[in-house]
Structure 1
Amino acid sequence: MKTGFTAGSVFFLLLVFCTNGLYAQGCVAIRHFSSCSGNHLESNLLGKGDWQIGMNYRYFKSFRHFQGTHEEPDRVANNTEVINHSHAWDFTVTYGISDRLFASITIPTVINTRSSLYEHGREERHNSFSRGLADIRIGAGYWLFNPQEHLNGNMAIGLGLKLPTGNYNASDIFYNVGENGQPQVRPVDQSIQPGDGGFGIALDLQFYQKIGGEFYAYGSGFYLINPRETNGIRTFRETLSPILDNEAIMSVPDQYAFRAGVNYNFSPETGVSLGARFEGVTVEDLIGGSQGFRRPGNVLSVDPGISYMKNNIALNLSVPVALRRNRPQSVTDRETEQLTGEPRNGDAAFADYLINLGITYRFPSKNKTKVPDLF
Structure 2
Amino acid sequence: MKNLYKILTAVYCIFLINADLHAQGCVAVRQMGGINAMSASSSYNLGKGDFQVGANYRYFHSFRHFVGDVEQPQRQTLGNAVNIYSHALDINVSYGLTSRIQLNASVPFVHNERSQTLTLDKDAANKALTRYSVRAKGLGDIRLGINYWVFSPEKSHKGNLMIGAGIKLATGAYGAKDDYLQTDGSMKNLVVDQAIQPGDGGVGFSLEFQAFRQLHHRIYGFANAYYMLSPQESNGIARSAPAKGLEGYEIFASPDQYFARAGAMIVIGKSKNLAFSLAGRFEGIPAYDVVGGSVAYRRPGYVVAAEPGITYRVGQHTFSLFVPYNFYKNRIQSAADKASQDLTNSTITDPSKFVFKNGDAAFADYSISLGYSFRISKAVKVPTWNVN
Is TM more than 0.5 here? Answer: yes
Deviation, structure 1 residue 17: 3.3
In structure 1, the residue corresponding to 2:164 is in which secondary structure?
Answer: strand
Structure 1 segment 26-65 matched on structure 2, within 5 A: 26-34=25-33, 36-38=35-37, 40=39, 45-65=45-65
The gaps in structure 1 that reach 5 residues or longer are none
Tell me what 1:224 maps to. Answer: 228
Percent identity of paired positions between Structure 1 and Structure 2: 39
Deviation, structure 1 residue 27: 1.7
Larger mean CA deviation between 28-37 and 288-297 belongs to 28-37
Measured in 2, the distance between the counterparts of 1:187 and 1:41 equals 41
Structure 1 segment 195-274 matched on structure 2, within 5 A: 195-236=199-240, 246-267=248-269, 268-274=272-278
CA contact (8 A) 2:319 2:372 kept: yes
Q: Which amino acid aligns with 1:262?
A: A
Q: Which amino acid aligns with 1:217?
A: G
CA contact (8 A) 1:16 1:306 kept: no
Which of residues 350, 354, 358 in structure 1 aligns to 2:371? 358
Q: Which amino acid aligns with 2:5?
A: T
Tell me what 1:160 maps to. Answer: 166
Tell me what 1:107 maps to. Answer: 107
Tell me what 1:343 maps to. Answer: 356
Measured in 1, the distance between the counterparts of 2:255 and 2:382 equals 41
CA contact (8 A) 1:221 1:259 kept: yes
Which of residues 166, 171, 189 in structure 1 aligns to 2:177? 171
Measured in 1, the distance between the counterparts of 2:246 and 2:322 equals 38
In structure 2, the residue corresponding to 1:343 is in which secondary structure?
Answer: coil
Matched, 1:291 2:295: yes
Measured in 2, the distance between the counterparts of 1:265 and 1:56 equals 22
Measured in 1, the distance between the counterparts of 2:25 and 2:250 equals 21
Normalized against structure 1, the TM-score is what? 0.91
In the TM superposition, what whole-angstrom CA distance separates every residue of 1:212-237 from its partner, at most 9, and x where no partner exists? 12111011111111110010101127
Normalized against structure 2, the TM-score is what? 0.89
Deviation, structure 1 residue 125: 1.8
Tell me what 1:70 maps to. Answer: 70
Aligned residue pairs, count: 367
In structure 1, the residue corresponding to 2:10 is in which secondary structure?
Answer: helix
CA contact (8 A) 2:282 2:302 kept: yes
Which of residues 143, 147, 160 in structure 1 aligns to 2:149? 143
Query: RMSD value over aligned CA atoms?
Result: 2.4
Q: Which amino acid aligns with 1:7?
A: K
In structure 2, the residue corresponding to 1:315 is in which secondary structure?
Answer: strand
Deviation, structure 1 residue 119: 10
In structure 1, the residue corresponding to 2:26 is in which secondary structure?
Answer: helix
In structure 2, the residue corresponding to 1:6 is in which secondary structure?
Answer: helix
Deviation, structure 1 residue 244: 7.0
In structure 1, the residue corresponding to 2:299 is in which secondary structure?
Answer: coil
In the TM superposition, what whole-angstrom CA distance separates every residue of 1:179-221 from its partner, at most 9, and x where no partner exists? x674221111000000111111011110100101211101111
Tell me what 1:94 maps to. Answer: 94
- 1:91–1:171 distance in 2 versus 1, CA, 3 Å: same
Tell me what 1:16 maps to. Answer: 15
Larger Rg: 2
The gaps in structure 2 that reach 5 residues or longer are 122-126, 346-354
Tell me what 2:349 maps to. Answer: none
Deviation, structure 1 residue 311: 0.5
